[in-house]
Structure 1
Amino acid sequence: MKDVPLSNDVIAGRVADMSCNILDQIVQEIKDSPIRISLQLDESTDASNMSQLIVYTQYIKDGEIKDEFLFCEALQMTMKAADIFQLLDEFFEKHQIKWEKVGSVCTDGAPAMIGNRSGFAALLKDRVPDLIVKHCVLHRHALVAKTLPPHHKEVMSICVQYQSNFDEKFEDETFILSLSYLEDIFSHLNDLNLSMKGMFASNTVGTEKVEAFKKKLSLWKRRIQGGSVGSFPILEEKLGDKTISPMLVENIVAHLLHLDTTMAKYFPKDHKFPEWIQQPFLADMSDADNLKEELIDLQVNQGCQTKFRILPVSGFWCDQLVAYLELARTALEMIIPFPTTCLC
């Protein structure tokens, strides 16, 4: 061990060699993926105030969906869409990855990323016309959560800014009850946020969670209008045996309606997974188009039925890439897009 050189230059060189080797493996796995890959990218600023572009990728490897860090490069000049695209284009050209290999991209939704005319997504669609562009569900969730009607915005402002009359406000019952409601509703929103990220996050899960939350908003509104605060435990505790006031009911209903409107704005029903992807043995074939013959063969295959019961949806379709190539490829290209940019 004493004879092994351990100078800074030697260690740095070995780290660089290992990094290059890992990147070469990832690039080869991307090229070998049986379906088109998904990209997740975001800009960030480091400690030296230099803008960095961070990119992750998701693809199929050995019958599993795999996500990997692809690269992090400095944006030397500006953070415009053209600069972002150029950096990614240069990486693809250097590693001989064809743009046709990209099927989807997920960004934070900034104008530079998803602008219709000159955004990064628009430039990418010039190369890949059928590209799926995803606006990160967590960024959309944040836009929903921060919108407050005037009354609750004032309550939040007093708490955040710690105004001079802050102590007096805690003797105001209306203020305390409004603050309690905000604690409850933000707790519900936080639960929604947590349910849409993590290792099991997917577009199907995100869509289901959002639709469930929309229905809960309607339920909570009806309950509040009926004088029930059971869905808001902190508010219920503060109220005790008292009846909720008409003014507080009005303010809470106004906020729930506001949330419902913004949820519809940022989470429109513009994309629905074909039923056969999630329930291949129960769904009809009306939305299977030219894949109906393969779907029929799959539905009568008892071995596939057994696998579907024990595998996650993504794992099941990965398992079908040999026997039902086109059917599995179509399903996976709708499953594989990143739902969030949380890795970046």
Structure 2
Amino acid sequence: MASSAKKRKSLDYYIKGKKPHSIGESLLKPCILSAAKFVLGEESAKKLSKISLCDSTVKFRIDELADDIKIQVVEKVKHSPFFAIQCDETTDVSQCSQLLVHVRFIGNETLEEEMLFCYPLETSTKVDDILAVLSYFFDENNLPWDKLVGICTDGAPAMIGSRSGFITKVKKKNSLAVGTHCIIHREALAAKTLPVELMDSLNAVIKIVNLIKTSALNTRLFAQLCRDIGADHETLLFHTSVRWLSKGNMLERFSELKDEVEVFLENQMKFNLLALLHSKDFGVSLAYLVDIFEALNTLNRKLQGRQSNIICHYDAIRAFIAKLDLWKYRILNKNTASFPHLDEALKGKELNKNVNESIRIHLDILRNEFLRYFPDIQEERPEWKLIRNPFLTDVSNVPEVLQEEFLDMKHNSSAMDDFNNLSLEKFWVKYLPMYLDLSQLALRVLVQFSSTYLCETRFSTLVLIKSKYRSRMFVEADLRCALSETTPGIKNIVAKKQIQQSH
């Protein structure tokens, strides 16, 4: 067991470490030979020196491992009753567009998620190019289009166009496939709008942060000032529009270092920016912005993560909209208990009428934007109630063709015990053989992706692997080995090898 664990740990280091292929020859092998010579002697070191760890050999082995993983994943997808995909594209360091596709399917008594492929788009990134790459992979690996039940994209016009979008063209191959606009992207878009007064405060913060952060000298001076004062932090944070949490994090850090920022601006004689900090209602507006973006970040984090489903995500969105109604009601009654930073900034004083109106308008805007980006959020879907808890669902809310099967499950005491002890996905997968039609109804919903979270997070790995020093490499094999949850069948790979005989 110990030997097996060591081998697995070594394998994880090589194929999941995302290191350059030359690291074996340039670093690992000299260390191994030096240690072997010291511990085991010259003869053992000579034998070990015959092991090939050059970059071409390492790349060849990575390709073999990736091919084995790919075969395993494709076979599991084929054996699944249905599957769903999420796809997104990004431009790598060599200005080549990479299309990354992840798949979710039924396997090993639950729903599994794996990278399906990562192919470069050699020319344009139009709908036809994306569809051609996907079709090529499906045809090459004999994946059936009629088992594809869901496609999740980032919501770009090329993806969701009603006439010529990617999802529209996929539906021509399977009309039952459901297209989904990434729920995290929609949440981020809904949170963008601000009233003029609050936008002015936000822009003032961004302007001051940029002054300090874009200058190396100012960054060092500000860090030294924070150390001298004994502040909890030494740096401010940049705001990046494309990063989901950055605006809230930037505002929170600025609020924590507001006194230090004032001292720094005064020392640097930036009195115009200092005037912005001392302007009427700036402190109160900043406190509200910190609170509301902290709430939005909390929502965003709930929408992130693996093994999530659209039912849980819609529940989180509904809860947030309900909170907006509560917050608006409290603000109208001059109650700021929902906003701790704002409550502390007021220090018992009554909220200014202008700021009160700005907050009320913003809460109204947020609610309207969420309803615009989630037009179906208020709809009651009977099948979701059934999926969430079949034992609390009335038979009248179940389609007629499934009612008898549903009653069999509802009065199965063992199934009820399993429902209380297993995750939603594991429960429905377990009872798929016993209650086929009912379980398929549930799993067709649960298997669908509601966000492109996996693609977004895996792009970071892609950037790490395909750096400016390895800009010409075909990245799929390395990416598959680094990201896959499937263990390559090393014994099978080795068994197919033939030892080179001496001449």
Q: What's the TM-score once normalised by structure 1's chain length?
A: 0.97
The whole-number CA distance in structure 2 between the counterparts of 1:186 and 1:29 is 41
Matches for 1:162-173 after TM superposition, within 5 Å: 162=208, 165-173=272-280
| Structure 2: segments with no counterpart, 5+ residues | 1-47, 212-269, 456-503
SS, match of residue 117 in structure 2:
strand
Which residue of 2 is the match for residue 236 of structure 1? 343
- 1:199: Cα distance to partner? 2.9
Taking the aligned partners of 2:77 and 2:397, their CA distance within structure 1 comes to 29
Partner Cα separation in structure 1 for residue 311 and residue 75 of structure 2: 28
Preserved CA contact (<8 Å) 1:40 1:56:
yes
Code of the aligned partner of 1:155: S
Residue-by-residue CA offset, 1:291-321 (whole Å, 9 max, x unaligned): 1111000011110011011111111101101
Counting only pairs closer than 5 Å after superposition, residues 84-99 of structure 1 correspond to structure 2 as 84-99=130-145
Q: CA deviation at 1:206?
A: 0.4
- SS of 1:54's equivalent? strand
Q: Which runs of 5+ in 1 are unaligned?
A: none
CA separation in 1, counterparts of 2:313 and 2:130?
A: 27
Aligned amino acid, residue 201 of structure 2 = V
Q: Does structure 2 retain, via aligned residues, the 8 Å contact 1:195–1:201?
A: no
Equivalent residues in 2 for 1:183-332 (5 A)? 183-269=290-376, 272=381, 273-289=383-399, 290-332=401-443
Partner residue of 2:263?
A: none
Partner of residue 146, structure 1: 192
User: Following the alignment from structure 2 to structure 1, what is the Cα–Cα distance between the partners of residues 297 and 320?
Assistant: 12
Say whether residues 1:10 and 2:57 are aligned partners.
Answer: yes
Distance 1:154 1:173 in 2: 12
2:115 pairs, out of 69, 75, 81, with 69
Name the amino acid aligned to 1:29. Answer: K
Greater helix proportion: 2
Percent of aligned pairs sharing the same letter: 35
- Change in CA separation of 1:15 and 1:106 when aligned onto 2, cut-off 3 Å: same
Cα distance, 1:161 vs. partner? 2.6
3-state secondary structure, aligned to 2:100: strand
- Greater Rg over alpha carbons, structure: 2
1:177 corresponding residue in structure 2: 284
Q: How far apart, CA to CA, are the structure 1 residues paired with 2:340 and 2:278?
A: 21
Q: Could you say what secondary structure the match of 1:83 adopts?
A: helix
> Residue 48 of structure 1 corresponds to which residue in structure 2?
94
Q: Judge conservation of contact 2:306–2:454 (CA < 8 Å) in 1.
A: no
In structure 1, C-alpha distance between the alignment counterparts of 2:311 and 2:200, rounded to whole Å: 36
Task: Say which of 115, 127, 148 aligns to 2:173.
Answer: 127
With 7-16 and 111-120 compared, the bigger mean Cα shift is at 7-16
Distance 1:252 1:142 in 2: 19
- State how far apart, in whole Å, the 1-side matches of 2:171 and 2:195 are: 38
In the TM superposition, what whole-angstrom CA distance separates every residue of 1:85-112 from its partner, at most 9, and x where no partner exists?
A: 0000001111111111211011000001
Q: Does the aligned pair in 1 maintain the 2:98–2:118 contact within 8 Å?
A: yes
Structure-2 separation of matches of 1:100 and 1:153:
48
2:207 maps to 1:161: yes
Q: CA deviation at 1:339?
A: 1.2
Q: Distance in 2 between matches of 1:12 and 1:259?
A: 50
Q: What secondary structure is seen at the aligned counterpart in 2 of 1:97?
A: coil
Aligned length: 343
> Structure 2 counterpart of 1:232, which letter?
F
Q: C-alpha displacement at 1:200, in angstroms?
A: 4.8
Tell me which residue corresponds to 2:497: none
